[in-house]
């Protein structure tokens, strides 16, 4: 239902959701190759994937305890988490040692776990459960388009620059915009 695009709250949440979905799923695909670029082993790349996966699980568990607390606004919480992850991603070129990049992978995992566990609930908070069925198709379409562009673009940037850093930074910018969009949406009246 394209009528949803007449509502500012939906537009802001939509931008946050599609950028957040793509940016929260994409980085892990490049962890092993980035490990090799850092002169680490492919086994270290597997460790990075594991760290990200475990942290994702921790992020989801964290949301079990936080999501229904009355004192927390879920949209604001999600916005802040995405902004923190976006800032961390923008500084990825400084994570040249195993421990530093592993810490980034943990940040990524927690953030993506939180994003995927509450993003739909946040959209329901924004537009209501009765209209969410209309929004789901639009959200999947937008996320798919952004994701389809993101992977080849990151590969292209790697080919041009010889590093995945710019791809991670672009991912960070998408996370910053996503987080800001969710925050803005929480202040737009229904």
Q: Which residue intervals of the chain are DSSP H helices?
A: 8-25, 31-37, 42-66, 74-90, 98-127, 129-161, 165-187
Residues 66-96 have pLDDT tens digits of 888 888 899 999 999 999 999 999 999 999 9
Q: What does residue 5 show for φ and ψ, rounded to 5 degrees?
A: -70, 0
pTM: predicted TM-score of the whole model, two decimal places = 0.94
**Alpha carbon distances (Å) from 140 to 18, 35, 113, 147, 149:** 8, 31, 18, 10, 14
- Domains within the chain, CATH numbers bracketed: 2-187 (1.20.1250.20)
Residues 17-35 have pLDDT tens digits of 999 999 998 899 999 999 9
């Amino acid at each position: 239902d394209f009528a949803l695009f007449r509502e500012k709250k939906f537009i802001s949440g939509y931008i946050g959701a599609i950028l957040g979905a793509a940016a929260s799923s994409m980085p892990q695909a490049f962890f092993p190759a980035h490990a090799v670029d850092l002169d680490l082993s492919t086994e270290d790349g597997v460790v990075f994937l594991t760290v990200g996966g475990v942290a994702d699980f921790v992020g989801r568990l964290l949301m079990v305890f936080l999501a229904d607390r009355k004192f927390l606004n879920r949209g604001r919480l999600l916005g802040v988490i995405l902004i923190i992850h976006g800032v961390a991603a923008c500084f990825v070129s400084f994570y040249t040692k195993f421990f530093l990049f592993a810490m980034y992978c943990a940040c990524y995992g927690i953030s993506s776990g939180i994003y995927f566990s509450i993003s739909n609930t946040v959209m329901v908070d924004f537009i209501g459960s009765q209209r969410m069925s209309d929004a789901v198709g639009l959200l999947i379409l937008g996320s798919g388009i952004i994701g389809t562009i993101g992977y080849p673009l990151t590969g292209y940037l790697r080919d041009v620059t010889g590093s995945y850093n710019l791809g991670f930074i672009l991912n960070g910018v998408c996370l910053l915009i996503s987080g800001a969009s969710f925050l803005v949406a929480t202040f737009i009246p229904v």
